[in-house]
Structure 1
Amino acid sequence: MAKKTNEVRRSNFFKECVGELRKVTWPTGDDVWASVKVVIVLTVITSIILGAFDSGFTALYSLLMK
């Protein structure tokens, strides 16, 4: 009896998941590409800033260790 109940719960779970996924408003291709561009630009900017800090701290460390 418990095995049957678990199977019913599992099938209901997957049916409900599919039902919920049909309600989702998926982004358009243009929205996705706009988000990708923002992520790439921010990643480049962040890497430049971190590279500048790294160079600065390396130079400062070299000066202090002379």
Structure 2
Amino acid sequence: MAEKTLKTKQQEKVKEVASPKTASVVRKEQKPKVETPRAAEKKQSARPGRLATWWRETIGELRKVTWPTLPEARRLTVIVLIVVGVTSLALGLLDWVFSRLIALLISL
């Protein structure tokens, strides 16, 4: 049979003695955590530390980026503007065609 020895709540360790076949087990009681003023300050100061770390890592990653030269940037900007213009013309034309078709169907 298992024999348990419980000490007062103020003591940290509880010793449990099991049958001779099993070894004895020693464990600590879990105490409720009471937050001290210093612990609260550490929690608040941990946030700026994480923000500073994020900022440093972001700057480090941006330094690894291969930035385009000025002529490349201009060329790519012109390409984007041309594609946007052609797409808007195509969509405008399709809108006009479908609106005429629907008007024709309604008037019948």
- Same fold, judged at TM 0.5 (above): yes
The CA RMSD over aligned residues, in Å, is 1.8
| Identical aligned residues as a percent | 33
* Larger strand proportion of the pair: 2
User: Post-superposition shift, 1:44?
Assistant: 0.9
Matched, 1:50 2:91: yes
User: Matched residue of 2:66: which SS?
Assistant: coil
How many residue pairs match? The answer is 66
Q: For each residue in 1:20-55, what CA deviation from the matched residue of structure 2 results, as whole angstroms up to 9, or x when unmatched?
A: 222221111111111111111111111111111111
Could you list the runs of 5+ residues in structure 2 that have no partner in the other structure?
A: 1-41
Matched, 1:30 2:71: yes
Flag the structure with larger Rg: 2
Could you list the runs of 5+ residues in structure 1 that have no partner in the other structure?
A: none
Structure having greater relative contact order (Cα 8 Å, sep ≥ 6):
2
Q: Using the alignment, how far apart are the partners of 2:103 and 2:57 within structure 1?
A: 62
| Amino acid paired to 2:77 | V
